[in-house]
Chain A
Amino acid sequence: MSMERIKPHFPWITLIVLGTLVGIANPSFFNPAGLVSLTADVVPLFIMALGMTFAIYIGGIDLSVQQLANMVTVIATVYLAQFGIAVAVICIAAGFLIGAISGYATTRLYVPSFVSTLAMGFVALSVAKYLSGQRALYMDAELRNASFGWMFDNTAGVPHELIIAAVLLLLAWFLQTRTSFGRSLKAVGAGELAAVASGLNVNRIKILAFAISGGFAGIAGLIFSVKLSGGDANLANGFLLLAIVAVLVGGTPLTGGVGGVLNTAIGTLIVMVIRAAMVYLEVAATQQQMIFGIILIIAIGLTIDRTKLRIVK
């Protein structure tokens, strides 16, 4: 068996090996209730990473997701009283719109995606600071429970958060594999010039990919906001690194074209296991960012498709 044939199976093998190691060192890790609550904890991160997968799948990157989620936590908190559960629509639409603008800047205006998303992230930060008056806001507990209380209930021991995550994963997987949009995404990721030459409307596909990334970041921000019962222009800070790590350790390379949303689900679980391991090994919270940064470099190095990069800029 050659290296190239094993490579796609790396992520889930890594997950099982890591999970087993953590489980051997600390048998209580396999306690089903604990495992379910650990998994429920990474749901906002997973949803953000799910959206980011679309941006990376076409060979771009979305550095605005963290700021978008920040902005949405503020939007959700401020407009909850006025719109009730319909605030979700506003949150998703806001993320979708800003993502679409980043996509427009990348495709039509030739601004590389890391700059356009970084810049739109700062626009989102401005909106968040403006709406929040630069203060930490809190949701009214009754209103929150009336509109979004169902998110944290259980059905037969399965938290609804996990069901939301599963539904979104299914939706993203359907988009990626069962629609012509999804097939076009793969074409763009595998070779953009070839996709243009075969008559695909590449610009529209790319704009949509960034918009979906923004929309998912909006959902992630909304769930995060409801979970913490508040909003703040810095609430979701720290998510960007983990979201990129989740996508890359899942096996979707920076160069795009392979991998996809199922990989990101595995990637997020790997992040979860690593976090659990760090808690068990008593790695201080202050060290986690450094460790995930190093993991990110390793993951990029292992997954990236160098045949696509004639010149590495």
Chain B
Amino acid sequence: MNNWLTRDNLIRWAPLLVLLALICLFALIEPRFFSVRNAARIAIASTPALMVAIGVTFIIIMGSIDLSMEGTVSVCAVIFAFAFIALGGTLASFAWLALPLALLVGAAVGLLNGLIHVRFKIPSFMCSLAIGFVGTGFALLLTGGDRVRVEDELFRSLLTIRFLNFPIMVYVALACLVLAWFIQSHTKLGRNFYAIGGGEELATSSGLNVGRVRALAFMLAGMFYAIGALLAVGRIGIAETATGNNFMFVSITAVVVGGTALWGGIGGVWNTLVGVLIVNVINNGMVVIGLPNFVQDAVLGILVITAVVLSTNRKTVAFVK
């Protein structure tokens, strides 16, 4: 009778329930929150963060962590903008080549990150943090602190052209989400992430080349950061060193709040979608009901600690560093 109310089920569905409860709460306090216009606003704010969060989801599923997203996003955005302008400045010309270039840059940064982590046996959180600093520094070096404007109408149509009230970038993000789900659930690589997260020693003794999978995971994550960078540039029309700001905390909060455990092995990209929506509903809702915006940082900080606490099975964890 009580079989469905297990710890597992609770953890699986709690994020979605929290999201629904938050939406109801904000809608009750301020009915304007519950409108298509506002939903579109939340969706637009969520899309770049969703891409970045999906990237880091793969890493967290393995039980590792990637803190390089701020630097990677900035580098991808800046290189994309420079290439885009140099190649003609509009999608109708050869400038479309800047899109795959950005993905390649993201993949390269991610691969570098993964290789340093695996080859030199440096814990991923520190290795990726350092790579993030290098990335931000590199973006600063390229721009010299300037902003690069991308004003091509065709590229900006990501934001400006709407279909069923939502701009195209939302559909692009959804397509990438489905792609990420496919990678996670229906490819060998995706299943290997879970194998490593579930028990690395078991995965190694089953003959899995763990180092290779790790490096590929970081590369894949880098490509999703690049997509996030493209959407972020499409959204505001500017690429700069600060393009990557805040992505680290928001994306990790989203992944953890969505129910993907930091210890790895459980969760996935759908959890991340719920997590990103929770974060953005909180951000948006607090503004809509009139709370000052400095409260958001503290709320998210407490939220992420709470989420980690709730998703930790204390019987299996001996100690943490």
Q: Are A292 and B317 in contact (CB under 8 A)?
A: no
A110 and B314 contacting across the interface, CB-CB below 8 Å: yes
Given known A-B contacts A105-B305, A114-B125, A312-B121, A289 and B133 have beta carbons under 8 A apart:
yes
Residues of A within 8 A of B144 (CB): 286
List which B269-321 residues lie within 8 A (CB) of chain A. Answer: 292, 294-298, 300-302, 304-305, 308-309, 312, 314, 317-321
Verify if A115 is at the interface (C-beta below 8 Å from B).
Answer: yes
Q: Does the CB pair A290–B141 fall under 8 Å? A: yes
Q: Among A110, A122, A192, A306, point to the contact of B297 (Cβ < 8 A).
A: A122
Could you tell me which residues of chain A, from 162 to 190, have a CB within 8 Å of some CB in chain B?
Answer: none
Contact assessment for B137 and A286 in the assembled complex, using a CB-CB cutoff below 8 Å: yes
Are B123 and A313 in contact, with the CB atoms below 8 A?
yes
Residues of A within 8 A of B292 (CB): 130
Which residues from A are CB-within-8-Å of B145?
286
Would B122 and A297 count as touching, CB distance under 8 A? Answer: yes
Within 8 Å of chain B (Cβ to Cβ): is A304? yes
Contact assessment for B320 and A113 in the assembled complex, using a CB-CB cutoff below 8 Å: yes
B301 CB contacts on chain A under 8 angstroms = 119-123, 126
**A193 within 8 Å of B by Cβ?**
yes
Identify the closest chain B residue to A242 (Cβ): B133
At the interface, yes or no: A106 with Cβ under 8 Å from chain B? yes
Q: Mark B244-261, 1 if CB is under 8 A from A, else 0.
A: 000001001000100000
Whether the pair A297, B130 counts as a contact (CB closer than 8 A) is yes
Contact B140 A289 (CB under 8 A): yes
Q: Is A84 an interface residue (CB 8 A)?
A: no
B69 interface contact, C-beta 8 A:
no
Contact A301 B120 (CB under 8 A): yes
Are B298 and A311 touching (Cβ within 8 A)? no
Contact call B121/A306, Cβ cutoff below 8 A: yes
A309 in the interface (beta carbon within 8 A): yes
Q: Which of B121, B295, B309, B312 contacts A309 (CB 8 A)?
A: B121
Given contacts A122-B301, A286-B145, A110 and B312 within 8 Å (CB-CB):
yes
The residue in chain B whose Cβ has the minimal distance to the Cβ of A109 is: B309
Interface majority SS (helix, strand, loop, mixed), chain B = helix
From residue B295, how far is it (CB to closest CB) to chain A in Å?
Answer: 6
- Whether B308 contacts A111 by the Cβ 8 Å rule is yes
Cα separation A309 to B127 with both chains bound (whole Å): 15
Which residues of chain A come closer than 8 Å to B302, judged between CB atoms?
Answer: 119, 123
Contact (Cβ within 8 A) A129 B297: yes
CA distance in complex: A312, B201 (Å): 11
Chain A residue at minimal CB-CB distance from B308: A111
B141 in contact with A286 (CB, 8 Å):
yes
Asked if B137 and A254 sit within 8 Å, CB to CB, the answer is no
Q: How far is the CA of A61 from the CA of B125 in the complex (A)?
A: 10
Interface centre among B118, B129, B145 (most CB of A within 10 A): B129
Which residues of the partner chain A approach B123 to less than 8 Å between Cβ atoms? 254, 304, 309, 312-313
Of A107, A291, A313, chain B has the most CB atoms within 10 Å of the CB of A313
- Choose one: B294, B296, B308; the contact of A134 (CB below 8 Å): B294
Interface membership of A40, Cβ < 8 A:
no
Most chain A beta-carbon contacts within 10 A, residue among B117, B256, B309 = B309
Contact B294 A126 (CB under 8 A): yes
> Which one, B65, B133, B300, contacts A122 given CB within 8 A?
B300
Q: Are B305 and A290 in contact, with the CB atoms below 8 A?
A: no
Contact B134 A290 (CB under 8 A): yes
Known: A112-B262, A115-B304, A119-B301. A300 touches B125 (CB 8 A): no
A106–B320 contact, CB under 8 A?
Answer: yes
Q: Does A116 contact B (CB under 8 A)?
A: yes
Q: Hey, which chain A residues are within 8 Å of B304, CB to CB? A: 115, 118-119
Chain A min CB distance to B256 (Å): 8
A196 to chain B, nearest CB (A): 7
Interface residues of B in 108-151 (CB under 8 A from A): 116-118, 120-127, 129-138, 140-141, 144-145
Q: Is the CB of A110 within 8 A of B309?
A: yes
Identify A293's interface contact among B64, B117, B125, B130, CB under 8 A.
B130
CA distance A286 to B262 in the complex (A): 34
Q: Are A296 and B133 in contact (CB under 8 A)?
A: yes
Query: Chain A interface (Cβ within 8 Å of chain B)?
Result: 58-61, 63, 105-107, 109-116, 118-123, 125-127, 129-130, 134, 192-193, 196, 202, 241, 244, 254, 284, 286-294, 296-297, 300-301, 304, 306, 309, 311-313
13 contacts between A and B (CB under 8 A): A58-B321, A60-B321, A61-B125, A112-B320, A112-B321, A121-B301, A130-B294, A134-B294, A202-B319, A293-B133, A296-B130, A301-B120, A306-B121
Task: List 5 A-B pairs, minimum CB-CB distance, nearest first.
Answer: A290-B137, A289-B137, A126-B298, A293-B134, A129-B294
